[in-house]
Structure 1
Amino acid sequence: MAKRYCRYSVLLILLLSVACSPAADRSAPLGPSSSEPQTRTDTKATPATPPLPSSEPAAPAERRVTLAAAGDVLIHRTIYEDARTRLNYDFRPVFETVRPYLEEADVTFANQESITGGTALGLSDYPAFNSPFETADALRDAGVDIVSMANNHTLDRGERAVHQAIRHWKRLGIEYAGASENEADRKRLRIVERNGLKLAFVAWTYGTNGISRPPGKPYLVHLLEQERAFRQEIAEAKKQADAVVASLHFGTEYARLPSEQQRKWARLAAAAGADVILGHHPHVLQPPEWIDNGNGGRTLVAYSLGNFLAAQKRPAPYVRIGGILKAELRKPSGASGGKAAVTVGGVRFLPTYIRFQAWRGYRVIPLSQASEAELPGVRGIREEIAAHMRRWMPELLVD
């Protein structure tokens, strides 16, 4: 500005010398001269979003958490032999292709079906599984935040394997549900917090293949036994968290539709306060649906998410097709306390395929990437899987 006025007249030199001196007040904004148009160029002072009229108050902002869930991780012998390296095991390449889909969620869950007791106990598969620690390492590397340990194989290799697995999950910083190392651990509510929302995870299994829990140690694996205790645990979790995610290991193996027992436990969980129910055990996909929670809301239930990683061939191709379920949990920012409603929406499903040939080269890939050569009729299979998963949820987005 001062330089512009200096061009008008030598007579103004004295005045300008005062204005340009260090003593001048430069903290005040310099405005245009009276001869310049009064056009505002300072856009920073203009609100980015005009205020709504008083008759239309702005909706409260929401806190949101995206949840991803994968199905059974069941490490058969051919899988861990395929992952063997010179010194140990490396399962990371198995999940590399689907890693971005797991990592992008705020919270990612998986059902670790085979106990990860480590090589010191001796590795084994069906009928009594024990998997390398490196299985857990690879899941963490792929973006998994919490696993369920409650399934029919939890006690396959005894109490020591359970403790070994829990210690390793702890070393990795991965939360676990469905099994506990002692009574205090059994009473500890598993909560994962993201974006200001607390998600409580609870998990149970229908049984343990006839293997009894050690006397006085019912905490080792959480069983679906007493309906009253089941409901109370979910209700208590709902009081302490914004939402409850229940993992239920139940149903009939290889059945593509849920049994009445599955529906019964799902209804009990929903009525007790579960917002999302994640089902496992059939090893094949069962269609998800919304069920009434009896409190004016609805619960998302996925009866079975199928095999995420396993070495099974029958019934083909369904035991090789699993998936990643995603949902968004939302709660108004102004709401407080566990009683404020959390809504579940934005549900979508990515079908996955377990690629291998001659029991080697295991990789989990999106079903859309499977070729006609490795899965004859893949286009029709993809369409059939999409229709199957939309059976009770026509609006479900299937990728």
Structure 2
Amino acid sequence: MNIKFSINMKFTMNMKYILRKIGAFLLAVIVTFLWCTNLKSQIVFAKNQETLIRKAYQPLSKVGQNRYILDDDGIYRKKISDDELIVPNGKDGPIDMAKNATVMITGDIMCLRAQQYGAKSKNTFVFNNSFSYVRQIFSNSDLVIGNLETLTSHSNYYTFEQKIRKGSPNCNAPATFLDALRYSGFDAVVTANNHCLDGGMTGIRETIEKLQEYHIAQVGTYLENDIPRFLLYEVNGIKIGVLSYTEYINFRESLSANDLNSFVNCYSKTSVERDVKEAKKAGAEFIIAYNHWGIENTTEITKLQKQHALDMAEAGVDVIIGSHPHCLQEAVYIKTSDNRQVLCMYSMGNFVSSMVTEANNDTIILRLLVIKEDGKVRLKQSGYYPLKVFPTYENKHYIVVPTQKEFHKGNTTIALEKASKRIKNVLGTTIKEWKDKG
């Protein structure tokens, strides 16, 4: 009896143990499923950890045309009406056009995990509030460009779902982040940076497709080898070329060397010389080029940055925009062998992010006044709007706020004043703070 009782007890205990294990496994499966679907059944099925079958988040509202549309000759021109474009010196085009263009440029447009949590709204994400202040500034520009340092790939995990991928930060945002870029006034973004391969070629493809859906032009990553490596805008009679390069790429081993150079604009002296030549052949009179370089989280400029900046200037670039350090760095003019003065912003810092240090959250909008006189195009004036990113401001999350009191009905705060001073100290004396008249 004792032996039989002992056997029955062991059998019962083993069965309970097995059932607990089965229950725990089923619970883990259910929790994982609910997490992957964001509790909305958005994912149909996950093939593996890196490739998801699900739909992208839909635009928050109907997406209208950008103010620039691509003409048949490969040049973006402003749209005047539904059936009329500004054309250069054409019989049907305007005769007296102002030969000056105001271009505004930003640093790293990021969409990290905390930003995504802060933008969660029912069954979607709304990021528009981040740009409610700068929208006013951008409205006074003829062209707005920034560095989009995130994917918008629904077939990859978003950052709030997977912060780290194979030991590196995963930068991938819901597509409604592009609603915010259109809301704020961005015309174009550059996409060559160290996170452009975070989602592999699927990430590049889906990000480009989403940018096309939102009518935001991009340069730096490509789906085909024969696509021009520049954007070309005609702005008030001035043709402006935009280029994009990166010196760092996470997961570059996921592509062969040939494919990498086909689909991502990797920096080299030769590639810049080639692209500048091609852009000028297509009609570019003024060239702005981004380069993703330097060391993160420092205001120190490396010898390699200085050498590559000189090479870019000598190749014919007129304004150099640095990204990647996630904080501002000094602005300088570089004198070339043909006596041109080339503005170099070694780093524009983060335009928006949820990174935590003061340096990460001090930022600017660069304002360039480009003019055309006697057939020659040059940079007449440069200045900047000082800004600070706040995790919470006026009950809004991760909002980019101008430090100038003119944007706050004549009022200011200690935080805004301190940010303005830090920005001035880092940038140096090459460019001055810009203040709108009136």
- TM class, shorter-length: 0.7 to 0.9
Helix, strand or coil: the match of 1:199?
A: strand
- Do the aligned residues in 1 keep the contact of 2:292 with 2:323 (CA within 8 Å)? yes
Q: TM-score, normalised by structure 1?
A: 0.76
Equivalent residue letter for 1:343: R
Structure 2 CA distance, aligned partners of 1:154 and 1:298?
A: 31
2:353 pairs, out of 279, 300, 310, with 310
2:242 pairs, out of 180, 195, 201, with 201
Alignment of 1:344 onto 2:379? yes
Shift of 1:383: 2.2
Alignment of 1:292 onto 2:335? yes
Instruction: Identify the residue that residue 163 of structure 1 maps to in structure 2.
Output: 205
2:186 pairs, out of 121, 140, 144, with 144
Instruction: Identify the residue that residue 314 of structure 2 maps to in structure 1.
Output: 271
Instruction: Identify the residue that residue 263 of structure 2 maps to in structure 1.
Output: 220
List aligned pairs for 1:209-288, cutoff 5 A.
Answer: 209-215=250-256, 216-218=258-260, 219-224=262-267, 226-240=268-282, 241-288=284-331
Instruction: Identify the residue that residue 110 of structure 1 maps to in structure 2.
Output: 146
Shift of 1:357: 4.2
Instruction: Identify the residue that residue 53 of structure 1 maps to in structure 2.
Output: none
Helix, strand or coil: the match of 1:342?
A: strand
Instruction: Identify the residue that residue 230 of structure 2 maps to in structure 1.
Output: 189
Shift of 1:153: 0.5
Equivalent residue letter for 1:257: E
Q: Deviations over 1:264-299 (max 9, x none)?
A: 111111111111111101111112111113212211
Structure 1 CA distance, aligned partners of 2:180 and 2:396?
A: 18
Shift of 1:318: 1.0
Helix, strand or coil: the match of 2:177?
A: helix
Shift of 1:365: 0.7
1:129 pairs, out of 171, 179, 183, with 171
Shift of 1:159: 0.7
Instruction: Identify the residue that residue 23 of structure 2 maps to in structure 1.
Output: none
1:366 pairs, out of 382, 391, 402, with 402
Structure 2 CA distance, aligned partners of 1:61 and 1:100?
A: 24
Structure 1 CA distance, aligned partners of 2:247 and 2:433?
A: 30
Structure 1 stretch displaced more, 284-293 or 358-367: 358-367
Shift of 1:213: 4.9
Shift of 1:66: 0.9
Change (3 A) 1:379 1:188: closer
Shift of 1:379: 2.8
Shift of 1:325: 0.4
Equivalent residue letter for 2:235: R
- Do the aligned residues in 1 keep the contact of 2:387 with 2:419 (CA within 8 Å)? no
Identity %: 25
Alignment of 1:327 onto 2:373? no
Equivalent residue letter for 1:354: V
Q: Deviations over 1:323-348 (max 9, x none)?
A: 1000111112x52xxxxx42112211
Instruction: Identify the residue that residue 75 of structure 2 maps to in structure 1.
Output: none
Shift of 1:61: 8.9
Shift of 1:188: 5.1
Shift of 1:183: 0.8
Helix, strand or coil: the match of 2:239?
A: strand
Instruction: Identify the residue that residue 422 of structure 2 maps to in structure 1.
Output: 384
Structure 2 CA distance, aligned partners of 1:198 and 1:151?
A: 25
Q: Which runs of 5+ in 2 are unaligned?
A: 1-95
Instruction: Identify the residue that residue 73 of structure 1 maps to in structure 2.
Output: 109
Structure 2 CA distance, aligned partners of 1:377 and 1:111?
A: 26
Shift of 1:362: 1.8
Q: TM-score, normalised by structure 2?
A: 0.69
Alignment root-mean-square deviation, CA? 2.4
Q: Deviations over 1:50-96 (max 9, x none)?
A: xxxxxxxxxx9961111101111111111011111112111111101
Change (3 A) 1:191 1:305: same
Instruction: Identify the residue that residue 354 of structure 1 maps to in structure 2.
Output: 389
Q: Deviations over 1:129-176 (max 9, x none)?
A: 111111122112211011010111010111101100101111222110
Shift of 1:245: 0.8
Q: Which runs of 5+ in 1 are unaligned?
A: 1-59, 336-340
Larger radius of gyration: 1
Q: Deviations over 1:299-328 (max 9, x none)?
A: 1111111111111113xx111111100011
Structure 1 CA distance, aligned partners of 2:401 and 2:172?
A: 24
Structure 2 CA distance, aligned partners of 1:310 and 1:381?
A: 16
Structure 2 CA distance, aligned partners of 1:62 and 1:184?
A: 34
Helix, strand or coil: the match of 1:168?
A: helix
Structure 2 CA distance, aligned partners of 1:274 and 1:259?
A: 20
- Do the aligned residues in 2 keep the contact of 1:75 with 1:310 (CA within 8 Å)? yes
Shift of 1:253: 0.6
Shift of 1:103: 2.4
Q: Deviations over 1:201-238 (max 9, x none)?
A: 111101212432523422221111x3223222223323
